[in-house]
Chain A
Amino acid sequence: MNYMPGTASLIEDIDKKHLVLLRDGRTLIGILRSIDQFANLVLHQTVERIHVGKKFGDIPRGIFVVRGENVVLLGEVDLDKECDQILQRVSIEEILEEQRTEQQAKQESERLKLQAVKERGLSIPKADTLDDF
């Protein structure tokens, strides 16, 4: 039966594998099991996927209940297309390591930039004075 045609309703997406992007930047992949009117999601057999460059790693997380307001976007995963991926799957430890390295590199560059800017007498407001993310 066709629930609410012409609208963006998640009812049709139930029991299908979805990729959910959260506001804090995490990517979750899980089977959407239940929703409610706030688009709170219940994800089953959820996996948090961390992407670094061309590599990615999956951390199995189990069941997720996501509050609707924290979802940026979500979409159904095409199981056929999922098989042929350009990205390379690595182990969890490796991807976490990669992520750490990337974070460090980013922080380092940020620091250098800040320093350069300071030398020139300018100032960039820190992130914590701005909005959340």
Chain B
Amino acid sequence: MFRFQSFDDDCTLEEEEGLGEEEEEIDQFNDDTFGAGAIDDDWQEQHARLAELDELVRDDLPGADDPSSGDLPPAGSNAKPSPLPPPSSSSRLYPDIDERAGGDLAESLTRLILGSDPAIAGVGTASSDRSHLPPKLPGQTPHPSALAGLSPLQLSYQHHQHILHRGPAPLSQINSHSIWENNMGFGPVNSGLVSQKEDKTLMSIIKEVGLPNRPPKLREEGRDLSERVPPPRSSSPVIGSPPVRAVPIGTPPKQPMSQILNQQNNHPSAIHVRASVPMRYPPPFPERLSPNNLLSIANSPLSHSPFPAGVGPVLSQIQRAQMLNSQFHRGPGPPLLQGGIGGFRPFFGQSGPRMGPHGPPLSHAPIRHNTTHLHPQHRRMLNQRMQNRGLGDHVGGRGVGDRKNRDPYSNLMTQREKEWVARIQMMQLQSTDPYLDDYYYQNYYEKMEKRQERDRDNRKEHTTKLITPQVAKLEHTYRPVQFAGSLGKLTVSSVNNPRKMIDAVVTTRSDDEEKREKQVWNKRRQILYTVEKMYSLLLEVQDFEKKFLQTPEHQRDALLEQHKTHTLQLYNSLREKEWDDRVSDEQCLMIMSVRKGKRLISRLLPFLPQPQAAAVIMGIARNLPALAKKDKQDQVLCWLVEPVTGVIQAMSSTSLTDLLQELQGREGQLPLVLQNKFGVTLLYLILSEGERMQSSDPNCQLMDDNRWTELVFSVTRELLKVPSSALSSPLFTPPNLVSLFSRYVDRQRLELLQEKLQITSLSR
């Protein structure tokens, strides 16, 4: 006893410590462990009892229709204040177990002090034909709260039970061999006996050795087993991370979850599920209760309990058991039992059929008591009963209800836990833009709804619709932690705020600059675009010949037509709308300013009809200085020489004169022209052509007006004036220049010219 008292002392000490929030939660667990919840679950104990019960049922089946006897062993076992250790009652009923019970002082004592819920075992034994746990079923009550509800004493006892029940491993198999057959789980008779014997030996050993000194370990065990709380994370700092949770998000709820939920629910809780949420039992009592408080509180409602009739017979049973167990020291048992929870519980521990007499008082007032202190299985039974009652009210789901009633393991997963899982699943459906995240499902669902509306127009029923939570989009900008006065930023990152590696800063230029640049680029792009288009046409034109040869006879006309249109189009693109003859300077200039454009023109020229080609060249000549300037980088004007030559040679005299005029154009153009290779070449070409015309055809009209002569004069003047450095060498020098110049200039100048231009009669 002294030992146990010391445990109690430790408990109180722990409670009194001022702990932080996380630890408070743990402390809360501890409170359940050491305090209020201590009333609750000792599954191993109960399991042992059920095993015994199994024995009982198998052993004296005829005698099993005394449900009271079946109730007793569980009834007494778990109530903290209750003085009903199972061995005692079982000793009365099961003679073979007597020796075990008798020799098991420590066990019964622990049971005594800890107290456990009589109703728990009552769950398993409510009816004689209930399935019984094979000894190896510790998973029956997998509640964290169940584990949490252990006092250190219980834990120690549990530890013993562990040792005990490690033995009968093959039992389960043999037991459950017939499970499918009758769903009863009756096993061979000897199995129970085996366990008994093993228990006995182990317990006797323990008795000899004595209870090991458990207090320091118990704390850890309590922590380890309770709530599945992992050790507080050491590595993740608060900076930049979400707050460390004592219970990570993934853990399932323990039974009194509301407080924890509130603390932990950081996410937006916009979950709208149209399906009705069942009412929770609001705890009228504070969550933390020391056993004394609890008992005192429990005393009051029970004093005017609504089930006076029910309590009576049960109490009598308990009293009976009390008498039997008088040999064991009960201490605070009996007075507590009278008005305490212990008395309350056996009532609920009764079987379904037994509910009959107590039905009426219950039905009119489904009273929700504070069930947090109850054993979870007990609570489950309560819920089940409520549900079943509800079921019976409007739905005749008797079959299902019956089956459920008979299945003692049903509702292992409580409503709360189901909701918890559903909530997590709903969280995964959160979406700020469902049409973005789940387009196909949305469409499918809409179609389905329409179809349903069409089909079920007459019927008013609405299938429940899953309303996924709509979450407002939250912008989480990551602001790296920065200490004042320091250089740089901390690189502390976590899953929720991954590290920002580079501080990319966007620099914007001023508006004006940007506009200008943009304009330039846009224009260039436009030109290139035009050139591209023209190219495609040009290629068509160029391939015409090939195509022409390939196409059959009758289609050739059409092809010809096509060809003509293409060429026309090409030309059109070069000229302005208003001027039919003139090539649009702007357009031409634009195209020529681009290398590609120059190439294009050079390829285009041969295909253009003469007048149009001439016009093009005129345009070029007109704008030669500008073009020359633009061409400085590319130096590709010379591509034009060849086609231009061709065109010039086909030119008429007037057009030639015109061309020369264009070339000379404004004042000062010629020197610039002369500076450019192409210009010079062009000039020479023109001159040589003129000369050729003159020399070949005496009737040429070149000399009809003075233009040609004047122009040539000016050219020569310019040529002589221009310094040699400013004169670029042409691509080639036509041979007849000498003769040309000899016509117009005197010998002296001719010589100068020759020197300058390095033209000799022999040179080419």
Give chain A's interface residues, CB within 8 Å of chain B.
Answer: 1-7, 9, 11, 14-15, 31, 33-37, 42, 44-45, 47, 58-63, 65
| Interface residues on chain B, number (Cβ under 8 Å) | 40
Interfacial chain B residues near A33, Cβ < 8 Å: 409, 412-413
Q: How far is the CB of B157 from chain A (nearest CB, A)?
A: 22
Q: Are B465 and A14 in contact (CB under 8 A)?
A: no
Q: Are A5 and B463 in contact (CB under 8 A)?
A: yes
Q: Are B173 and A35 in contact (CB under 8 A)?
A: no
- Given A1-B276, A33-B413, A37-B424, 10 extra CB contacts under 8 A: A1-B277, A2-B464, A3-B418, A6-B466, A9-B425, A33-B409, A36-B252, A60-B175, A62-B173, A63-B139
Given A1-B278, A15-B411, verify A47-B417 contact (CB < 8 Å).
Answer: no
Given A3-B418, A6-B465, A37-B424, verify A60-B412 contact (CB < 8 Å).
Answer: no
Q: How far is the CB of B344 from chain A (nearest CB, A)?
A: 27
A33 vs B411: C-alpha distance when bound (angstroms):
8
A15 vs B415: C-alpha distance when bound (angstroms):
13
Q: Are A37 and B407 in contact (CB under 8 A)?
A: no
Q: Are A4 and B466 in contact (CB under 8 A)?
A: yes
Residue of A nearest to B448 (CB): A6
Q: Are B424 and A62 in contact (CB under 8 A)?
A: no
B111 interfacial by beta-carbon distance below 8 Å: no
Q: Are B466 and A7 in contact (CB under 8 A)?
A: yes
Residue of A nearest to B410 (CB): A15
Given A37-B250, A62-B134, verify A44-B425 contact (CB < 8 Å).
Answer: no
Q: Are A34 and B172 in contact (CB under 8 A)?
A: no
Given A34-B417, A60-B179, verify A5-B404 contact (CB < 8 Å).
Answer: no
Q: Are B421 and A11 in contact (CB under 8 A)?
A: yes
A9 vs B137: C-alpha distance when bound (angstroms):
27
A58 vs B181: C-alpha distance when bound (angstroms):
12
Give chain B's interface residues, CB within 8 Å of chain A.
Answer: 134, 136-137, 139, 142, 172-173, 175-177, 179-180, 185, 250, 252, 273, 275-278, 404, 407, 409-413, 417-418, 421-422, 424-426, 429, 445, 463-466
Residue of B nearest to A82 (CB): B180
Q: Are B180 and A47 in contact (CB under 8 A)?
A: yes
Can you report 9 residue pairs joining A to B where beta carbons are below 8 Å apart?
A: A2-B275, A9-B422, A15-B410, A31-B407, A37-B250, A44-B412, A58-B180, A60-B172, A60-B177
A61 vs B185: C-alpha distance when bound (angstroms):
13
Interface centre among B179, B411, B426 (most CB of A within 10 A): B179
Q: Are B277 and A34 in contact (CB under 8 A)?
A: no
Q: How far is the CB of A33 from chain B (nearest CB, A)?
A: 5
Q: Are A47 and B179 in contact (CB under 8 A)?
A: yes
Contact of A4 among B409, B426, B463 (CB under 8 A): B426
Interfacial chain B residues near A44, Cβ < 8 Å: 409, 412
Q: Are B172 and A62 in contact (CB under 8 A)?
A: yes
Interface centre among B134, B142, B418 (most CB of A within 10 A): B418
Residue of A nearest to B422 (CB): A3
Interfacial chain A residues near B404, Cβ < 8 Å: 15
Residue of A nearest to B179 (CB): A45
Q: Are B176 and A60 in contact (CB under 8 A)?
A: yes
Closest 8 CB pairs of A and B: A60-B176, A37-B424, A5-B464, A6-B466, A34-B413, A2-B275, A15-B410, A62-B172
A5 vs B410: C-alpha distance when bound (angstroms):
22
A33 vs B408: C-alpha distance when bound (angstroms):
12
A42 vs B175: C-alpha distance when bound (angstroms):
19
Q: Are B413 and A14 in contact (CB under 8 A)?
A: yes
Given A47-B179, A62-B176, verify A31-B465 contact (CB < 8 Å).
Answer: no
Q: How far is the CB of A41 from chain B (nearest CB, A)?
A: 11
Given A1-B277, A37-B425, A47-B179, verify A62-B137 contact (CB < 8 Å).
Answer: yes
Q: Are B142 and A34 in contact (CB under 8 A)?
A: yes
Residue of B nearest to A33 (CB): B412
Residue of B nearest to A9 (CB): B425
Contact of B422 among A11, A34, A47, A59 (CB under 8 A): A11
Q: Are B139 and A42 in contact (CB under 8 A)?
A: yes
Q: Are A42 and B421 in contact (CB under 8 A)?
A: no
Q: Are A14 and B139 in contact (CB under 8 A)?
A: no
Interfacial chain B residues near A42, Cβ < 8 Å: 139, 142, 412
Interfacial chain A residues near B134, Cβ < 8 Å: 62
A1 vs B278: C-alpha distance when bound (angstroms):
8
Q: How far is the CB of B176 from chain A (nearest CB, A)?
A: 4
Residue of B nearest to A10 (CB): B421
Interfacial chain A residues near B173, Cβ < 8 Å: 59-62
Given A5-B466, A6-B445, A62-B176, verify A35-B425 contact (CB < 8 Å).
Answer: no
A69 vs B417: C-alpha distance when bound (angstroms):
21
Interfacial chain A residues near B445, Cβ < 8 Å: 6
A44 vs B278: C-alpha distance when bound (angstroms):
26
Residue of B nearest to A64 (CB): B139
Interfacial chain B residues near A60, Cβ < 8 Å: 172-173, 175-177, 179
Q: Are B275 and A3 in contact (CB under 8 A)?
A: yes
Q: Are B465 and A5 in contact (CB under 8 A)?
A: yes
A33 vs B410: C-alpha distance when bound (angstroms):
7
Q: Are A7 and B180 in contact (CB under 8 A)?
A: no
Given A1-B275, A34-B142, verify A62-B422 contact (CB < 8 Å).
Answer: no
Interfacial chain B residues near A2, Cβ < 8 Å: 275, 464
Given A47-B180, A62-B134, verify A31-B409 contact (CB < 8 Å).
Answer: yes
Q: How far is the CB of B377 from chain A (nearest CB, A)?
A: 13
Q: Are A34 and B176 in contact (CB under 8 A)?
A: no
A14 vs B380: C-alpha distance when bound (angstroms):
14
Residue of A nearest to B278 (CB): A1
Interfacial chain A residues near B179, Cβ < 8 Å: 45, 47, 60
A122 vs B177: C-alpha distance when bound (angstroms):
49
A105 vs B433: C-alpha distance when bound (angstroms):
56
Interfacial chain A residues near B407, Cβ < 8 Å: 15, 31
Interfacial chain B residues near A15, Cβ < 8 Å: 404, 407, 409-413
Interfacial chain A residues near B177, Cβ < 8 Å: 60
Q: Are A11 and B418 in contact (CB under 8 A)?
A: yes
A52 vs B464: C-alpha distance when bound (angstroms):
43
Residue of A nearest to B418 (CB): A11
A44 vs B131: C-alpha distance when bound (angstroms):
13
A60 vs B178: C-alpha distance when bound (angstroms):
9
